[in-house]
Amino acid sequence: MKSITIKDVRLHPVALPLVEPLRTSFGVDEYKTAVLLEVITEQGISGWGEASVNLAPGYGPETMVTGLHVLQQFAIPLITNKEIKDPSIVPVLLRSIRGHKHTVAGLEAAIWDACAKVNDMRLADYFATFLPEGNQPRTGAVVGVSIGIQPSVKETLQIIEKRLAQGYKRIKLKIKRGWDIELAQGVREALPTIMLMLDANSDYTLQDSEHLKQLDQFDLLMIEQPLAHDDIYQHSKLQQQLDTPLCLDESIHSVSDLQVATELGALNILNLKPARVGGFTHSLQMYKHCVEHEIGLWIGGMLETGVGRATNVAFAALPGINLPSDISATDRYFDPDITEPRFELSNGSQLAIPDGYGIGVEVDLNRIADCEAIWEDINPFRANHD
């Protein structure tokens, strides 16, 4: 495999308006914010990655402002002018940076893209070279769709019917205290056979066990992260009381976390978000653990732009990803996106891997400039210092 040497890294902080505001237990998002990274090699190849960081420290502690600071002052100097034989060395090069996993994951993703491109490979095929034999990617990623909290069961059902008509086979509904049993019951009565899961985004405690046990009657695929965002132990206690499988998300940040959760029986399913665990090198290690221990596995989304979406589709096409992933088609979130071609849903609720090398999509620099201007308008740090 050919190596690369990084000569420059360009940062593009962007804000993309969402087609529909997304309401969760954290609040309402009207924009997708991210720092897009363009790694330029001495061969003149541009590798693209996405640091999926938000305006506020809700899902995790990172924000746009912290991401830009860590990249400019610490991360980029550690990899500039370095020869990189393969991307698995990036976590070693960045080992002096603790935390900031979404941020460093974006930089690592850009390097994965550049390395795949210099070797004339699709990113999905390049990922497979770091796995045991038998892990060649499928033609695409099987995906589902996530639906935010709506004002009523009726309005939720209207959106579900719309998504089913578009071809999505798995529906994820956001829930919170006071909006769970009624929602699940209403949806199940209307749509008794759909593949349905609920995502609590850490809104409950172990004291809610008796309440959560009522969800067992609704034949759910899983309940995602019902308890604290940093908890593993209490999830193990809750799983003992439920028939419905628990899926962990926010509380799994490393291979070590996953090993502990496996030993304790805290999860049957993992929502693997490469951004959350620090990038694709760590994601590949966790992928191997899940395959070995027969843990259900899917790739979660952070409402990524086309850059992050392309990278996630490549990973979600690997055969060990055995449940539909949260990587919806482009028009679910953006119109337009910043990349072409658009990701469109095909038969079997799939998104196809793009044909080109690396992430396989073309980045529209004019569209990025428009979204950089939007970020400047909504940047709360700038507003506080005008």
Assess whether 174 carries a catalytic annotation: yes
Cα separation, 51 vs 62, in Å, equals 10
* Tokens (6 digits) for 268: 């049957």
The C-alpha torsion from 316 through 322 and 327 to 330, rounded to 10°, is 80
User: Distance (Å, rounded) from C-alpha 96 to C-alpha 99?
Assistant: 10
324, 294 in Cβ contact below 8 A? no
Residue 80: count of CB within 10 angstroms of its CB: 13
What count of Cα atoms within 13 Å lies in the side-chain half-sphere of residue 26? 18
Structure tokens at 168: 């999505």
162 is an active site residue: no
C-alpha 107/C-alpha 112 separation (Å) is: 9
CA distance 40 to 43: 8
d(CA 309, CA 301): 8
Helices assigned H by DSSP within the chain: 64-70, 76-79, 90-93, 101-118, 123-128, 153-166, 181-190, 209-213, 233-239, 255-264, 280-292, 306-316, 365-378, 380-383
Pairing of strands 145-147, 140-142: unpaired
The DSSP bridge partners found for residue 173 are 147, 198
Burial label for 355, CB within 10 Å (0-12, 13-18, 19+), is exposed
Which listed residue (32, 117, 172, 174) is catalytic?
Answer: 174
Radius of gyration of the chain (CA): 20
Q: Which two tokens stand for residue 220?
A: 């759910």
Q: Catalytic: which of 32, 117, 176, 273? A: 273
Residues 338 and 99: their CA atoms lie apart, in Å, by 28
Residues annotated as catalytic are 174, 273
